[in-house]
Amino acid sequence: MSSRFDYIVRISLLLLDFILLNGALFTAFKIFDSYNLMQPDTRINLIYIVNLIWLSMTAILKMYNYRSTGRYSHVKNTTINALLVFVLFFGLYQVIVKQDEITLGFSWYFMLQFIVCICVSRLLLKKIIQHFVKNTRNRKKIAIIGFNETGKKLAEYFSGQKTAFEFSGFFDDEITRIQALTPQITPGGAPGVTAPKSNLNQLIKGSVKDIMSYAIKNDVREIYSTLLPDDNQEVKALVNVADQHCLRIKFVPDFAHILQSPYHINYMNHFPVISLRDEPLEDTRNQLFKRFFDILFSAAVLVFVMSWLFPIVALLIKISSRGPIIFKQLRSGQDNKPFWCYKFRTMTVNKESDSKQATVNDARVTALGRFLRKTSMDELPQFVNVLLGDMSVVGPRPHMLTHTEQYSSIISKFMVRHFVKPGITGWAQVKGFRGATETNDLMEKRVEHDIWYMEHWSIWLDVKIIFKTVFNVFKGEEMAF
């Protein structure tokens, strides 16, 4: 459901961004005399790389999705995200390749010019969309039967697709109850002052029996009903006469009302699928985006931190106690598949390491180990696990196999957290649920936070958790021992 205008915007944005990206790059080549200073292979590789990065990011973020390009808010948000990720990837490319021919001045000029051009193009797009919405007469007028959650979501969708649709209003038989004003207390405390109607309430035009006359009078071309003909006689009667007036009726069942449970409705192709929870990481694009982020972030940590820190920590571990530098342990991974999890060894070699968690003032922990645990530096080798694909930078913390077996029989939702890859840090950890879990209640809270993360995942939530983790490390955490 989209207009020709949306297709035009989609193709125009794609071509314009391609021109601006390569225009900024070739301008930088010219300004910095790169045709003489750079080798031909360097220039060609750079052209390929910047185009590949930009097209990959915009594809993952669905910037040129024909169902969304007519919505300026979508274009604006995806543009900001794409630019941020593009700058990050381009910077990492320069660090990894380390070509002296690509100077810092060249890179800054190219990036700033491209960002400015993109921002200007988006401002122009906003003006074009506003002009189109204000002046076009070809938008399809829509009315909705049923003032319920599904109806409100439909209204939100059509209101956002202003280049293709014009939402006319709701029609519902319970109009009197819905439009009843609720009392509101004034700042002075005087009761009886009524609140103004909400924007949605103002769009309620009448009952179901009024919709036909309204549609004919106001040139409404399509009606979306959340009520089925078998459940409502007025809707049933409407179906019989709509065709005579060239009026299309489409049905969107109100599953939220039918199910009466906190289920989630997703779509597999065009088929509605009811699931127990919303999981953004079931989407292949989100999986790829998270994996790209994990690889780049882990590679950066291993190159810029572990390259010099590992020899120092390894030497100190060897000096402080006997045993291996790296401690490895089988832990429960995604889909409950075991994997070897790596850490800097923080304890003396003991037989209980695979069954007993560290506790406060644990005699097994070395003096150096306490420092490594307090600063979370003992977890740094797990970035190797991330590169291997066993873990993610952010996710539920992996547990020992014995603990997985123990808690899965006690906490009903415990295994749900294994639907995603375990992480080096997680939402539960930054919220204070890290370290040993002495009671089942603490473990239940950790599981609740892990499931919340699964249901609300976004790349920016991962970034937020990483920053909070770093902040907590410098602040110091009581549960780190």
Both tokens assigned to 126: 């906003």
CATH 1.10.10.10 for domain 140-179+195-276:
no
Handedness of CA 25, 29, 32, 34 (dihedral sign): positive
Using pLDDT thresholds of 50, 70 and 90, give the confidence band for residue 1: very low
SS (H, E, C) 230-259: HHCHHHHHHHHHHHHHCCEEEECCCHHHHH
Asked whether the beta carbons of 216 and 246 are under 8 A apart, the reply is no
Q: Is the pTM of this model over 0.75?
A: no
Range name among 13-17, 309-313, 353-357, 452-456 with the lowest pLDDT average: 353-357
Label residue 326 exposed, middle or buried (CB < 10 Å: 0-12, 13-18, 19+).
Answer: middle
**CA 331 to mean position of chain CA atoms:** 27
Q: What is the DSSP secondary-structure string of 451-476?
A: HHHHHT--HHHHHHHHHHHHHHHHH-
Give the pLDDT confidence of 115-162 residue by residue, as tens digits.
Answer: 999 999 988 888 887 777 666 666 788 899 988 878 888 888 787 776
Give the pLDDT confidence of 311-352 residue by residue, as tens digits.
Answer: 999 999 999 988 999 999 999 999 999 999 999 999 888 777
**Which of 271, 269, 290 lies closest to 280, judged by CA?**
290
Residues of the chain with CATH 3.40.50.20: 140-179+195-276
Q: Return the CA Rg of the chain.
A: 29
CA distance 90 to 82: 12
**pLDDT at position 204, please?**
83
Number of other residues whose CB lies within 10 A of the CB of residue 79:
21
Q: What are the DSSP E strand ranges found in 292-418? A: 326-332, 338-344, 392-394
Range name among 15-29, 90-104, 363-377 with the lowest pLDDT average: 90-104
Candidate ranges 97-101, 131-135, 312-316, 435-439; pick with highest mean pLDDT: 312-316
Residues in the chain, overall count: 481
